[in-house]
Amino acid sequence: MAAESAVPLPALGRAHARRLREVYRSAGWPCQDPVEIELLAAGLLDRVLSPTGHETLRVTQSGLQVLAQTLEGNRARLSAHEALVERVAREMGRAGRVAWRGLSLRAQVPGEGAAQPPQWCMARPDVFSIRNTSVAQYVEPVVHEVKVRRSDLLADLRQEAKRAAYLDLGECWYVLGSDARGRCIASPDEIPATCGVLVAEPARLVVARAAPRARRSALPFGVWMALAKATPVAGLDEDCQGLLAANDG
């Protein structure tokens, strides 16, 4: 009798990794859906029959290895993103601007229909910066949204309300990283014309397309309050101030 050919295992994606984490963190109750079937077939989950007759799931040793690899990949992607965010914030400081990371700012976006009034939402740009000036009308606020993965960029571009919130705050720029082969994750033409595009090269940030100038007289009071409560990224004058303090007296 001829041996049966092995059934090819399905390719595992984010849904599978997410289900593995859910099973690992829970009591392991089965869902009996296609994702669970594929994880069982791949040997990443195992069925366990309790003395009471209830069936639960447990993550196998192979499943734990997949979880560990996924966690390591997520950390690497986060590190790449945070490194580029830091780089952009530092560049804003070198350009004579005051920059913040991870702010939550109140912004206004158009209503869902033409007859609907504008709505308020919370915008969380990767980098927000203003000119280092004492004149409120000259602050020229700029938002930088950093992307190091193409899938994240494409998902972000589908969120028109998020982009509208950024544009309500000031100029909006997308900062594009590179893939594993060193290629830019997108073409500037893929970014809406309302936004500027910066490409992160190894030695510098290159302007691929300038953003339209935002016409704003001054920042709203709520944004000023958020900036006052937050700590900006250290600028280039930090060391100079330290030297002045050391020479004092």
Residues 142 and 19 in one domain: no
Asked if residue 9 is part of any domain, the answer here is no
Asked if 84 and 168 sit in the same domain, the reply is yes
Q: Does a structural domain hold residue 148?
A: yes
For residue 199, which of 233, 153, 164 has the smallest C-alpha distance?
153
- The closest alpha carbon to 80, from 146, 124, 133, 144, belongs to 146
The torsion angles phi and psi of 202, rounded to 5 degrees, stand at: -55, -40
Are 101 and 221 contained in the same domain? yes
Residues 106 and 18 in one domain: no
Cβ 100 vs Cβ 125: under 8 Å: no
Q: How many domains does the chain have?
A: 2
Domain shared by 35 and 140, yes or no: no
CA distances from 17 to 8, 31, 69 (A): 19, 15, 10
- Note down the domain range covering 26: 14-59
157 and 54 within one domain: no
**Neighbouring-strand partners of residue 130:** 98
Is residue 114 domain-shared with residue 186, that is, in the same domain?
yes
For residues 154 and 42, membership in a common domain is answered with no
Q: What's the Rg (C-alpha) of the chain?
A: 25
- Do the domain assignments include residue 138? yes
Q: Kindly state whether residue 242 falls inside one of the protein's structural domains.
A: no
| pLDDT tens for each residue of the chain, 249 residues long | 444 444 455 677 888 888 998 999 888 889 889 999 999 999 999 999 888 888 999 999 999 988 888 887 777 666 889 999 999 999 999 999 999 998 999 998 887 777 788 899 999 999 999 999 988 889 999 999 999 999 999 999 999 999 999 999 999 999 999 988 889 999 999 999 999 999 999 999 999 999 998 766 678 898 999 999 999 997 655 544 443 444 444
Both 89 and 132 in one domain: the answer is yes
68 in any annotated domain: no
**Measured between alpha carbons, how far is 111 from 55 in angstroms, rounded to an integer?**
49
The answer as to whether 102 is a domain residue is yes
Identify whether 198 is part of a domain.
Answer: yes
In a domain, 153, yes or no: yes
Same domain, yes or no: 111 and 227: yes
- CA–CA dist 30, 57 (Å, integer): 6
Residues 93 and 32 in one domain: no
**Does residue 145 share a domain with residue 52?**
no
pTM above 0.75, yes or no: no
